[in-house]
């Protein structure tokens, strides 16, 4: 059995990772839209786009464009990460293994449905729906990961 301090450290790393990544995704287009050559922040923002390219297709037409700059991830990925941020608020409710599987499966339905309907050419849901459909899946996975870090799954 691991110590409580170990689980606290793991949970802190999960929280810092989710908050840091989500913040970087929103900050990157802002920084590029408001450049300040005196700092290296634009370099970090560019690094965010590069890192995001490893996990997302980054198609401009499927991305939000705040500050007239494309987000580093598509709308669906933005929903997953935004949902993950919200999912951290659910951490006080413990996740049993059986309950977790059911919650994640149910939360995946909107994302899977929009993806499949879009893939077969039946429906183009648009970015707002792609984003909203991904929120529950991102939240439920973050809830599970954070509870696993706490040692309660």
What confidence tens digit (pLDDT) does each residue in 83-117 have? 999 999 988 888 777 889 999 999 999 999 999 99
Domain that holds residue 60: 4-150
**pLDDT(1) > 90:** no
Domain count, the chain: 1
Q: What is the mean pLDDT of the chain?
A: 94
Cα-only R_g, the chain: 17
Handedness of CA 17, 18, 19, 20 (dihedral sign): positive
Contacts of 12 (CB under 8 A, 6+ apart): none
């Amino acid at each position: 059995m691991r110590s409580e301090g170990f689980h606290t450290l793991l949970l802190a790393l999960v929280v810092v990772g989710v908050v840091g990544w989500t913040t970087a995704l929103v900050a990157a287009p802002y920084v590029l839209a408001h450049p300040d050559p005196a700092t290296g922040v634009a370099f970090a923002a560019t690094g965010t786009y590069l890192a995001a390219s490893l996990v997302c297709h980054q198609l401009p037409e499927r991305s939000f464009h705040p500050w007239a700059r494309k987000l580093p991830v598509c709308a669906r990925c933005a929903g997953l990460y935004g949902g993950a941020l919200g999912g951290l608020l659910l951490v006080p409710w413990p996740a049993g293994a059986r309950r977790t599987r059911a919650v994640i499966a149910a939360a995946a339905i909107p994302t899977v449905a929009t993806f499949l309907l879009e893939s077969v050419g039946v429906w183009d849901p648009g970015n707002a729906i792609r984003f909203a459909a991904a929120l529950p899946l991102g939240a439920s996975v973050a809830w599970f990961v954070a509870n696993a870090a706490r040692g309660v799954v």
